[in-house]
């Protein structure tokens, strides 16, 4: 069975992550613990990115970085009006007033929504698409976030998955997904074509993500009779998901 669904795959160009450790000179906080001020943190981050050939338009850190191992701070880094991110700064070591820290690339919910909308438009989708994501995205391979893309009254669900962090670049793919309701409706449509009549209802165990081998269980009811099926993704080709269905043994 073949189901039409949008799919995008590509790098989020300009999402920068400092992979080398950084060092900041701290000033004493109120309790005597060293801290890197927001001004020093912003200046240091901007200089590091400029040295790497990716000068940001602005860097804004919300709070000072307290000089205790494991403490974190968030900074908004804007590369362009449509490309920004929110790296997480984490203290890795403290030696007197010297604070060592590193950056983990991350996108806030709003930044991920803008990035997905931009990728949809660049892939030929409607430029006025509305994107709603359930969470932000951390720059670790395998991290995922779910986003709904709405255009022309139709909402499609996609999974944003980080595929790699290479040097200064974080890449993610947008993977198509059939929601639980879409899977149920699609299965009933397919059974109606095969049987010549539409069963009463279908209830599936969850969404079906467009990755070959992924599967979902569904129960179909037709009058007093019921049957269990397993749906398995066989291929993803551009904007389409192919899946097979078979009785659950």
Query: 172 pairs with which residues across the strands?
Result: 10, 162
Round to the nearest angstrom and report the end-to-end CA distance of the chain: 20
Interacting residues of 157 by C-beta distance below 8 A, sequence separation 6+:
146, 147, 148, 149, 177, 178, 179, 207
**Is residue 7 very low, low, confident or very high in pLDDT (cuts 50, 70, 90)?**
very low
Q: How far apart are CA 176 and CA 86, in angstroms?
A: 25
pLDDT in tens, 157-172: 889 999 988 755 688 8
> What whole-number percentage of the chain has pLDDT above 90?
44
Q: How far apart are CA 232 and CA 227, in angstroms?
A: 16
Q: How far apart are CA 236 and CA 210, in angstroms?
A: 6
Radius of gyration of the chain (CA): 23
pLDDT in tens, 82-121: 788 888 899 999 988 889 998 888 899 999 998 888 888 8
Beta carbons within 10 angstroms of residue 164's beta carbon:
15
Name the more confident of 125 and 28.
125
Name the more confident of 238 and 192.
192
The SS3 assignment for 48 reads helix
């Amino acid at each position: 069975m073949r189901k039409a669904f949008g799919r995008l795959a590509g790098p989020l160009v300009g999402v920068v992550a400092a992979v080398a450790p950084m060092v900041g000179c701290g000033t004493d906080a109120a309790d005597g613990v060293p801290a890197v001020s927001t001004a020093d943190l912003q200046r240091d981050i901007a200089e590091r990115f400029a040295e790497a050939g990716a000068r940001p338009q602005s860097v804004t850190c919300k709070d000072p970085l307290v000089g205790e191992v494991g403490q974190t701070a968030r900074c908004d880094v804007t590369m362009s009006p449509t490309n920004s991110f929110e790296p997480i700064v984490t203290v890795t070591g403290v030696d007197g007033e010297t604070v060592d820290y590193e950056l983990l690339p991350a996108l806030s919910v709003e930044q991920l929504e803008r990035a997905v909308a931009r990728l949809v438009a660049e892939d030929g989708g409607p430029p006025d698409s509305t994107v709603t994501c359930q969470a932000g995205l951390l720059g670790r391979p395998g991290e995922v976030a779910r986003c709904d893309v709405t255009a022309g009254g139709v909402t499609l669900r996609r999974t944003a998955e980080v595929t790699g962090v290479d040097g200064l670049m974080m890449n993610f793919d947008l993977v198509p997904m059939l929601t639980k309701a879409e899977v149920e409706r699609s299965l009933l449509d397919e059974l109606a074509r095969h049987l010549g009549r539409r069963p009463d209802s279908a209830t599936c165990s969850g969404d079906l993500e467009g990755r070959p081998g992924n599967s979902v269980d569904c129960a179909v009811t037709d009058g007093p009779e019921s049957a269990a099926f397993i749906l398995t993704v066989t291929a993803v080709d551009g904007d389409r998901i192919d899946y097979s269905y078979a009785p659950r043994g």
